[in-house]
Chains A and B, each alone.
Chain A
């Protein structure tokens, strides 16, 4: 980074950070097992990024529009890293994996596919997912797989902000007015049945000790931290049954097809299109 003297408040620089292009070009090939795990992480980020991008031009205020758009872009960035890396195992590009896989080939969890609903429902989903992702990346930075660790280190800084954004809004909606309290509480109830999905160990994670983070190991911290912020926001911790099913081997929600239809239509109608 340059420290050249320049008193403009709008001085810009790209900064130094890992890029998806570098992962593609550095010639490292992910093993089949690592690639399957990278798909879990990449697909979650991609689906949520796509979901959140629907808020652009629809958020309650211009400033919030940009905040949600930034978060969506960060998530698409994470997806690019993980999908690029996964693709090295199969000779595929990030675009091959994002645009030319069908519903049943995605490995995202059901939480990120849930409807945006109102702002409260979106913030409830953001809260749960960013708290989960924060725990996940905090451990993934210690992965023995250097590429996964480098991606996690970059993404963790972004997720720290996503988490803060969700928590700040949870507090304001929870403590705000009767109406905002009711809506954020309903949002939490709506999203809560999909939490267990996030913490299932399976054959993919079990095959990668020291490389993958075992999802169940994140549960204790997640439960404690999310209960704290929900209580601070004067909201009640939902006590509801978890949705049936929910491993990543093919169980998915009806919403997935709709998300993919919109995300993939251009690339499939005009293969190889650039813009």
Chain B
């Protein structure tokens, strides 16, 4: 191969999600490098399910994930604090409503 940047280029990064058993959601387990999606799935199997952790695995290109900005945590998440009226327990039960 004549293109030297090609030779030293690292494999792209993938995020791995593992479902531990039926009925549960896939949970983020970690990340890995792989040349393509097919191999990423196989590498995920080798890295994250070798102790029987999984019944299903997803791999997602890391750059396909848009993540919230930790520096803007205040405006993004903390404004929900103190808004107890967003919780059902804030409200008193109306008279005559049974079985609540």
Residues of chain A at the chain B interface (Cβ within 8 Å): 1, 3, 5-15, 61-64, 66-67, 70, 161, 164-165, 168, 172, 177-179
Counting chain A CB atoms within 10 Å of each CB, which of B24, B28, B33, B46 scores highest? B46
Across the interface, do B42 and A13 meet the contact criterion of CB distance under 8 Å? no
Across the interface, do B20 and A63 meet the contact criterion of CB distance under 8 Å? no
Across the interface, do B38 and A168 meet the contact criterion of CB distance under 8 Å? yes
Across the interface, do A12 and B27 meet the contact criterion of CB distance under 8 Å? no
Task: Give the A-B pair count, Cβ closer than 8 A.
Answer: 68
Across the interface, do B46 and A66 meet the contact criterion of CB distance under 8 Å? yes
Across the interface, do B51 and A13 meet the contact criterion of CB distance under 8 Å? yes
Closest chain A CB from B62 CB (angstroms)? 14
A3-B27 in contact given A67-B46, A168-B38 (Cβ < 8 Å): no
Complex partner residue of B18 from A1, A3, A9, A62, CB under 8 angstroms:
A9
Closest chain A CB from B75 CB (angstroms)? 30
Across the interface, do B46 and A70 meet the contact criterion of CB distance under 8 Å? yes
Shortest beta-carbon contacts, A-B, top 6: A9-B27, A12-B51, A63-B43, A9-B29, A9-B18, A13-B52
B-chain residues with CB within 8 Å of residue A66 when the two chains form the complex = 43, 46-47
State which residues 21-76 of B face A: CB under 8 Å: 21-22, 24-29, 32-36, 38-39, 42-43, 45-48, 50-54
Across the interface, do A3 and B22 meet the contact criterion of CB distance under 8 Å? yes
17 A–B pairs (Cβ distance < 8 Å), ordered by A: A1-B52, A5-B24, A7-B20, A7-B25, A9-B27, A9-B29, A9-B54, A13-B51, A13-B52, A14-B52, A61-B33, A63-B34, A67-B42, A164-B42, A168-B38, A172-B39, A178-B1
A-chain residues with CB within 8 Å of residue B38 when the two chains form the complex = 168
**In the docked arrangement, what's the CA distance between A1 and B55, Å?**
12
Across the interface, do B53 and A9 meet the contact criterion of CB distance under 8 Å? yes
B-chain residues with CB within 8 Å of residue A70 when the two chains form the complex = 46, 50
Across the interface, do A11 and B53 meet the contact criterion of CB distance under 8 Å? yes
**In the docked arrangement, what's the CA distance between A3 and B24, Å?**
11
**In the docked arrangement, what's the CA distance between A104 and B24, Å?**
54
**In the docked arrangement, what's the CA distance between A6 and B1, Å?**
49
Across the interface, do A6 and B20 meet the contact criterion of CB distance under 8 Å? yes
Question: Which residue from chain B places its CB closest to the CB of A179 in the assembled complex?
Answer: B1
Given A10-B18, A10-B29, 20 more A-B residue pairs with CB atoms under 8 Å apart are A1-B52, A3-B21, A6-B20, A6-B21, A7-B20, A7-B27, A8-B27, A9-B20, A9-B28, A10-B48, A11-B20, A11-B53, A13-B52, A14-B52, A61-B11, A63-B32, A63-B34, A63-B46, A66-B46, A70-B50
A-chain residues with CB within 8 Å of residue B50 when the two chains form the complex = 70
**In the docked arrangement, what's the CA distance between A164 and B25, Å?**
27
A10-B53 in contact given A63-B33, A172-B35 (Cβ < 8 Å): yes
